[in-house]
Amino acid sequence: MQKLESILGEHYCFKGLDKGYLDMIVEKAEEVSFQEGEFIFRENEMADKFYIIQEGIVGLEAKLAADRDPITIQMIGEGDVLGWAWLFPPYMWHFDAKVVASTKAISLDGQFMRTKCEEDHDLGYELLKRFAHIIQQRLQAVRLQNPNMYVVKSKS
């Protein structure tokens, strides 16, 4: 547990968080690993966990049409947070998370965290601010990766 407390306590998502909150989060955390090609989660499954990637790469994929292969919309790597759907109703994943390179991560119990945020709005507000920042960065990265934004259409 000491190792997880140290890792999470220094991670930007939890750094500076009240020690009581951090202890509670660490208590429900566990180290996990995934092999290349494995799915960590699939679109429309219940989002009851989130992950801090320690090493490896995970691709976020979206299937745009039934007869087409999915597209990778973003790569998530070391130090990144994977998943925020646990925080917002209906608590379902919006993408597939497929392991591109063997990955080690810390798994956190999103359902437990959601309950604690409802019970303690100070914790909920603090985590919401931190996750809103992550979401903002993630959306900006996706926008920059979208090649369609560079297509110039004629105004005629």
10 within some domain = no
Round to whole Å and give the CA distance between 3 and 70. Answer: 37
pLDDT digits (tens, 9 = 90+) for 55-95: 999 999 988 888 888 888 889 999 999 999 999 999 999 99
Using 50, 70 and 90 to split pLDDT, how confident is the model at 135? confident
Give φ, ψ of 50 to 5 degrees: -145, 165
Give per-residue pLDDT as tens, 74-85. Answer: 899 999 999 999
What's the CA dihedral at 136, 86, 50, 134 to 10 degrees?
10
The verdict on residue 24 lying in a domain is no
Q: What is the pLDDT of residue 82?
A: 95
Segment 85-134, tens digit of pLDDT: 999 999 999 999 999 999 999 999 999 999 999 999 999 999 999 999 88
- Rounded Cα distance, 11 and 142, in Å: 22
Distance CA 15, CA 17 (A): 6
> What does the pLDDT look like over 10-54, one tens digit per residue?
999 999 999 999 999 999 999 999 999 999 999 999 999 999 999
Establish if 61 belongs to a structural domain. Answer: yes
- We report the CATH number of the domain holding residue 132 as 2.60.120.10
Q: For residue 34, is it within any domain?
A: yes
**What residue numbers bound the domain in which 130 lies?**
30-146
Answer whether residue 7 is part of any domain. no
Judge whether 2 lies within some domain. no
Residue 117: Cβ-neighbour burial (10 angstroms; 0-12, 13-18, 19+): middle
pLDDT confidence of residue 36: 98
pLDDT at 70: 87
Q: What pLDDT, on the 0 to 100 scale, is given for residue 118?
A: 95
In a domain, 23, yes or no: no
How distant is the alpha carbon of residue 58 from its chain centre?
10
Number of structural domains found in the chain: 1
- Write down the pLDDT at residue 142: 66
Within a domain: residue 131? yes
- CA dist 4 → 1, 50, 116 (Å): 5, 15, 19
